[in-house]
Structure 1
Amino acid sequence: MGTDKLQELRNKIDNIDEQILKLLNERAKLAVEVGHIKKENKMPIYVPSREKKIFERLESLNKKYGEVFPTKYIRPVFREIISACRSTEETLKVAYLGPKATFTQEAAIEHFGQAVEYIPVSTIKDVFEEIIRGNADYGVVPVENTIEGIVNYTLDLLVNYPLKITGEVILEISLHLIGLNPDKNKIQKVYSHRHALAECRDWLAKNLPHAQQIEVESTAKAAEMAKDDYESAAIASEAAADIYGLQVIERKIDKPANFTRFLVIGKEIPPPSGKDKTTFVFSLKNEVGALYKTLEPLYKHGINMTKIESRPSKREAWDYIFFTDIEGHISEPKVKEALDELEKKSPFFKILGSYPKAH
């Protein structure tokens, strides 16, 4: 009786799977038609605001169906469906800080899905260059970590290049000790990116005090360095362990609440999604109360500032520029009016992007 019921349920699941497959193909056909219209009207293939609205609508609708399928998996499932359907319109090319299996690639997949041509490059600057040269449509770069702080090089490049922030990804980082040899006592060298080594400083001091710590350009490169040496280990992701044939010796050796913010960069500011953030940079006049006076238009127009970070301008000693995040999209009248006023008060001003907030 039990086996008959089991087979009956499996048959029903098979039928539903077939219906899902049929509907996926129908969706893909519609995506092809959408792609033709976009190309005829010279519209962008990738519209992050549209994709965000799809996710939010489906997450809300899931309550109607009892949430038997967990709502937290709606976004990743439909991200891959949308990514695959988008590839029928055009294959996006996305550059990221490589090699394969870096956290930056993980963030890129989190944002764009798997059905994208990913281009690993050696430096953050190379990500910007690939877009400028037309070899990539978008790029993904790290900008901030909750433990190690701002990636200043990324901020400097945003000021100097004519590109825009089109999105952001907040990724929880889990760092593991990985290697060929499971015996920690045999490890003489530990490879990783300097931020990862810093984040795991306490664990390394307690558990591998005599191991030499060697900085390399990425956690994935660290895994590559450790794959042929039984006396070496790397601090990297589980994905890096899988790709380079290493085993996880110790899990989660970094500090808790370790999150990294990544920026998606491209050539154009995307349309508003309804839940957006605008990032800009400005400098100050050399006068008393300059910061207060410059930021006053935000208060005047009711704009919420969520972040401000200062950096040396590199033009002259003790001269600073300020990277600022505010709520809202540049196309909103009150945001535009506030920033127009702010620009008039600043010797240097640049909009770095308006984009959907990370969920």
Structure 2
Amino acid sequence: MAAKKPSPAASPEALEGFLAGVRREIDDIDDHILALLNRRAAASIEVGKRKDGTHQAVFKPFREKEVLKRLVAENSGPLPAEHLRIIYREILSSSRRLQRPEKVVFLGPEGTFSHFAAMATLGRAGEFEPKPSIDDVFAAVASREADLGLVPLENSLQGTVGQSLDLFMRHDVFVQAEVYCKISHSLLSKATELARIKTVYSHPQPLAQCAGWLRANLPGAKIIPTESTAAAALRILKMPSAAAIGHSRLGEMHNLNVLASHIEDLPDNWTRFLIIGPSDTKQENRDKTSILFNLPDKPGSLHAVLEKLAGRDINMTKLESRPFRGEKWKYVFFADLQCDLSRAEYAKLLDELRACTHSLRILGCYPAGPHIDVSGKMEVIEE
């Protein structure tokens, strides 16, 4: 029973009595929540036992998306929807860990945007391991050293991360899920004044995203690319006239000063990440498909592919060509389609596409990803 609310003119004693009653009520609610969380944990452990010895994936992004969608629809408040999503992402993360520990690899060291995106997407109960390069992330997943990997695919300001597309050609991995993360950059340094900065380090993508700000505010500074934003922060720890561009929380992690915040040239700065695994999860009700294909060297070959897709009213949201390794002036095409190309209704279309391409590989069919603000707030903007 809720404690009786005191009147506005109540004495300090009456207020303290009211607060004591509310605290007892909260303690009672917490006891119920704890019991229910343990019931849920027991159910997750039982699922894990049933899956033991099978090749079934623990990470089921479409199932998790449906859970979050249903709970948000059922939520009558006053708990905000974004708080509910954050809480349940951690509950789902714990449930996966209880079923079977999963190793998740990302471009390291700790503190990169890939690291924050991985935690925001998969929850903090995951077993995260940094890798020195994106190539190492792909290799770890392909060799089954890791269960999942998170890689950047494209940025709303600078376009595609070409290295990631190239690595899909070299490694046998599959797209399990996607996530769109809002990115914001800060200038970090041991220095306390902007005027002291002579050198700026960061990954090439953030350097490009902040190029206008750097020209306007540090026109004489030397710009040096590094393998990651976190590596840049580590490099400047003993360099009082140097700065790194990265997540503001890197400053907290390494006791660096934030000399400037939100220094990206455009404020609406998003990066699309893909979660990759060593096999296709074969989920139901998937929204998108990513494919790789190359074409016969003859007129109209690309038009033939586009015509087949248009004929089935399939929207192509991304199409990009990359040089084909070992073949001069030959190209491989990466495409995103708004459909689940693995469904039986598309079997004939797949045969037609294979007939008009030199080779065709389905990289994965997966649910459309959430939009998460990892610029500092670490909150879900849109599921």
The residue aligned with 2:39 is 26
Over aligned residues, Cα RMSD in angstroms? 1.6
Deviations 1:288-309 (A, max 9, x none): 3222212222122222221111
8 Å contact 2:286–2:365 — kept in the other structure?
A: no
Using a 3 Å threshold, how does the CA distance of structure 1 residues 73 and 271 change in structure 2: closer, same or farther?
A: farther
Could you say what secondary structure the match of 1:346 adopts? Answer: coil
The residue aligned with 1:5 is 18
Could you say what secondary structure the match of 2:52 adopts? Answer: helix
Partners of 1:47 and 1:324 lie apart in 2 by: 23
Deviations 1:125-165 (A, max 9, x none): 11111123332111111111111111111111102211111
Partners of 2:169 and 2:54 lie apart in 1 by: 31
Q: What is the Cα deviation at residue 314 of structure 1?
A: 3.5
1:250 to 2:276 alignment: no
Output aligned runs, 1:128-147, within 5 Å: 128-147=138-157
Q: What is the Cα deviation at residue 247 of structure 1?
A: 2.1
Partners of 1:107 and 1:338 lie apart in 2 by: 35
The counterpart of 1:286, out of the listed 294, 297, 306, is 297
The residue aligned with 1:160 is 170
Partners of 1:285 and 1:213 lie apart in 2 by: 42
Counterpart amino acid of residue 39 in structure 2: E
Deviations 1:32-71 (A, max 9, x none): 1111111255422222221111111111111xx2x31111
Output aligned runs, 1:103-114, within 5 Å: 103-114=113-124
1:274 to 2:285 alignment: yes
The residue aligned with 1:230 is 240
Could you say what secondary structure the match of 1:140 adopts? Answer: strand
Deviations 1:228-257 (A, max 9, x none): 222111111022112111121111101211
The residue aligned with 2:8 is none
1:121 to 2:134 alignment: no
The residue aligned with 1:335 is 346
Counterpart amino acid of residue 297 in structure 2: N
| Ranges in structure 1 where 5+ consecutive residues have no aligned partner | none
Output aligned runs, 1:279-318, within 5 Å: 279-318=290-329
1:264 to 2:271 alignment: no
Name the count of aligned residue pairs. 356
Partners of 1:70 and 1:273 lie apart in 2 by: 29
Q: What is the Cα deviation at residue 10 of structure 1?
A: 2.3
Q: TM-score, normalised by structure 2?
A: 0.89
Deviations 1:10-31 (A, max 9, x none): 2222221221111111110111
Percent identity of paired positions between Structure 1 and Structure 2:
38
Partners of 1:178 and 1:43 lie apart in 2 by: 43
Q: What is the Cα deviation at residue 344 of structure 1?
A: 1.2
The residue aligned with 2:51 is 38
Counterpart amino acid of residue 29 in structure 1: A
Q: What is the Cα deviation at residue 273 of structure 1?
A: 4.9
The counterpart of 1:172, out of the listed 151, 174, 182, is 182
Q: What is the Cα deviation at residue 73 of structure 1?
A: 2.3
Deviations 1:68-118 (A, max 9, x none): 111122222101011112211111101111110101111111221111111
8 Å contact 2:144–2:278 — kept in the other structure?
A: no
The residue aligned with 2:332 is 321
Partners of 2:195 and 2:62 lie apart in 1 by: 51
Partners of 2:346 and 2:241 lie apart in 1 by: 56
Could you say what secondary structure the match of 2:149 adopts? Answer: strand
Partners of 1:42 and 1:99 lie apart in 2 by: 30
Q: What is the Cα deviation at residue 182 of structure 1?
A: 2.0
Partners of 1:272 and 1:44 lie apart in 2 by: 10
Counterpart amino acid of residue 11 in structure 1: R
Partners of 2:346 and 2:235 lie apart in 1 by: 48
Question: Could you tell which deviates more after superposition, 10-19 or 186-195?
Answer: 10-19
Counterpart amino acid of residue 174 in structure 2: K
Partners of 2:94 and 2:313 lie apart in 1 by: 40
Question: Could you tell which deviates more after superposition, 31-40 or 295-304?
Answer: 295-304
| Ranges in structure 2 where 5+ consecutive residues have no aligned partner | 1-13, 371-383
Counterpart amino acid of residue 21 in structure 2: E
Counterpart amino acid of residue 64 in structure 2: E
The residue aligned with 2:160 is 150
Could you say what secondary structure the match of 2:36 adopts? Answer: helix
8 Å contact 2:291–2:363 — kept in the other structure?
A: yes
Partners of 1:333 and 1:22 lie apart in 2 by: 43
The residue aligned with 2:7 is none
The residue aligned with 1:68 is 78
Q: What is the Cα deviation at residue 315 of structure 1?
A: 4.4
Using a 3 Å threshold, how does the CA distance of structure 1 residues 40 and 310 change in structure 2: closer, same or farther?
A: closer
8 Å contact 1:131–1:266 — kept in the other structure?
A: yes
Output aligned runs, 1:37-56, within 5 Å: 37-39=50-52, 41-56=54-69
Q: TM-score, normalised by structure 1?
A: 0.94
Deviations 1:304-340 (A, max 9, x none): 2211112222443332221111112233223343223
8 Å contact 1:92–1:116 — kept in the other structure?
A: yes
Counterpart amino acid of residue 60 in structure 2: V
The residue aligned with 2:357 is 346
Partners of 1:331 and 1:290 lie apart in 2 by: 23
8 Å contact 1:144–1:261 — kept in the other structure?
A: yes
Output aligned runs, 1:91-106, within 5 Å: 91-106=101-116
Partners of 2:236 and 2:20 lie apart in 1 by: 48
